[in-house]
Amino acid sequence: MSDTIDTPTTGQKFTAETLGTFVLVFFGCGAALISGGDYVATGLTFGLTVVVMAYAVGRISGGHFNPAVTLGAVLGGRLPWNQVGIYMAAQLLGGLLAGAALFGLMHGFPGFSAEGNMAQNAFGDQSALGYAWWAALLLETLLTAVFLWVILAVTDERNEINVAMGPLAIGLALAMIHFASMGATGTSVNPARSIGVGVFAGTDAIIQLWLFVVAPLLGAAIAGLTYPVLFGHGAEPVAGSGLNFGGGRKGDQFVPGSYEAQWNQGQQGSWGQPGSAWGAPPQQQWGQGAPPQQQPDPSYGAPQAQPGQQQPGQWGAPPAQQQPGQPGQWGAPPAQQQPGQPYPGEQGGQQGQPGAPGHWGNPDGDDDGRTQVRRPD
């Protein structure tokens, strides 16, 4: 792996969010149109598009594909405010491009009319079951809040879930949400999805778009603000996020490398932790060199000191400076035994201590364990 990390540019993030949102709206709403509103097909398609595109471009932008997700991320302390405009503009563009593509392609069917037939979201007399506007507002707010709580929890750095499982859990959550609400509102939880096809579905659909913009953003704001209160941050919020509207500093720009890392950008410990995509040592931050690796000592298996800090007696290190006349060292005369005192190391016949018979730097012991005192030459 290269030591140089290719930091995504603003243009690359914009492109990633545009593409991801395009795929989400085109395939999700396209499945609803082609299948005649089949519950299982439509719900699974929306969920699978999130999974696929998060794996594909999540390393670049984090894979929001939804203005509500971006708002929840910034209020939850995961993204600086100075990124919000880029993300939401890209998401709206992707949704509109998908709506335009579907509008053109659906005219390939004889007698097709886009009026009220673009898989748009609806309530009241425009919905299939006549769902009341206030209930639609509450439902979309609740479902979006649940969706954001799931996203913030799955991508919390304290969550030990494997990084690769994050997009899968989020995609399944979106499918689950569709199964619970398609019959009522057509399921939005995403203003870009609603606007992208709604503007091509006629005047009535355009008039009702307000609810499918307000409700998802309200639900995302509730989740983003309450998640740290309910479950804690897990790490310091990104500068310029949350209720701090000052905007992030240049150094707070994230360097995505995995889906989870995007959501923990700028937080200590979010990069290079065990189990992450890069596998760097703990506490190693981008832009800092890796800590010196300790190599096992080939003689004893103990770790060697770092270069320039070698200790005497290790491989490649200079010998220790000896003081003249110290007993037990190479080249030094043996210690003089004082009359009536045992030679050092002889007490108790203990071996393995300095001065014991038969050890390095000491006179050899005789067969009966008595110390022989030699005169210095």
| Region 91-116 average pLDDT | 97
Q: Which residue has the tokens 């310091």?
A: 236
Domain that holds residue 137: 10-263
Directed axis angle between helix 84-106 and helix 67-75, to 10°? Answer: 160
Cα three-residue angle 58-62-65, rounded to 5 degrees: 90
Measured CA distances, 143 to 68, 78, 93, 150, 179 (Å): 11, 21, 24, 11, 11
DSSP 303: B
User: Is residue 60 pLDDT above 60, yes or no?
Assistant: yes
At residue 119, the pLDDT reads: 96
Domain-located, residue 364 = no
Domain-located, residue 335 = no
Domain-located, residue 197 = yes
Domain-located, residue 74 = yes
Backbone angles phi, psi at 329, to 5 degrees: -110, 155
Residues in a beta bridge with 303 = 296
Measured CA distances, 266 to 86, 88, 203, 224, 229 (Å): 19, 21, 44, 17, 20
User: Is residue 235 pLDDT above 90, yes or no?
Assistant: no
At residue 370, the pLDDT reads: 46
The model's confidence at residue 226, banded by pLDDT at 50, 70 and 90, is very high
Backbone angles phi, psi at 339, to 5 degrees: -55, 130
The model's confidence at residue 241, banded by pLDDT at 50, 70 and 90, is confident
| Region 32-37 average pLDDT | 95
Domain-located, residue 283 = no
The model's confidence at residue 347, banded by pLDDT at 50, 70 and 90, is very low
| Region 234-257 average pLDDT | 61
Number of independent structural domains in the chain:
1
Query: Terminus-to-terminus CA distance in the chain, angstroms?
Result: 63
Domain-located, residue 157 = yes
| Region 181-199 average pLDDT | 97
Domain-located, residue 156 = yes
What percentage of residues in the chain have a pLDDT greater than 90?
Answer: 55
| Region 274-290 average pLDDT | 35
User: Is residue 25 pLDDT above 80, yes or no?
Assistant: yes
> pLDDT for 128-173, tens place per residue?
899 999 999 999 999 999 999 999 999 888 887 766 789 999 999 9
At residue 283, the pLDDT reads: 35
The model carries a pTM of: 0.68
User: Is residue 186 pLDDT above 60, yes or no?
Assistant: yes
- Specify the CATH number for the domain of residue 124: 1.20.1080.10
Domain-located, residue 236 = yes
> Which residue did the predictor score with more confidence, 219 or 2?
219
